[in-house]
Amino acid sequence: MKSDMLGNGLWVLNELCPSDNELSAISFTNDHDLIVTGGFDGILEAGNQFYPSHGSYDAYIVHVNASTGVPIAAATGGGPGLDMFYGTDVYSNSVLVTGFFEYVAQFDTTTLVSSGGRDIIIAKTEGLIFGFNEPGDQKITVYPNPCDDLVMISFPKSSGQKQIILRNTSGQVVFMADAIATEHYQVDVSSLPPGLFCIQILEEGKSLILEKLIVY
């Protein structure tokens, strides 16, 4: 909430996520706008954009207009585990954040694998102060999910060959397939133990997408 010097309310920042979210830190831009960070579960809304989480909690950065209280830019990242930003600062036109991630997490095009449990993350993002970081329009379909035998993975249309990496919650690779040129690929997960897994899609060595898979 923002108020004037007499304590009169000017605006209130409503919840960014209708299901569950946590605001952990606030910093200010040179124009006195707010940069807020934390974690969310479900779908985070900033302006007219929607950012789905990959697992239990994803980390977020949101730029809020100080005059209106309206979120005007956002960036999110995470994986199937618990991921959170706990500190933030603004340096020139960049936003710096600190926090932690669990197991496997993707921030922009960088995929991180923890050494076990939670690892510390320090990140820097540019462009957030000036406009939207559009959520990726690259999506995959995983069906059925949950699954206990054969799962079909459908890719967005692209000219490049793709690679599938399937990891468990400890970050260990349990399945890998290379040089996939089709738009659909079937994976047999019947030999995997029940639990939560992370599907990572790469194209020409660049990580594109993280998606969770539940095996029962």
pLDDT of residue 139: 66
- Please enumerate, as own/partner, the contacts of 56-60 that have beta carbons within 8 Å and a separation of 24 or more: 56/80, 56/81, 56/82, 57/20, 57/22, 57/82, 57/83, 57/84, 58/83, 59/83, 59/84, 59/85, 59/97, 59/99, 59/101, 59/107, 59/121, 60/16, 60/21, 60/85
Mean pLDDT over all residues of the chain? 80
Residues 87-94: what's their mean pLDDT? 85
**Among 12-21, 138-147, 154-163, whose mean pLDDT is lowest?**
12-21
Residues of the chain with CATH 2.60.40.1930: 141-215
CATH of region 141-215? 2.60.40.1930
Q: Is the pTM of this model over 0.85?
A: no
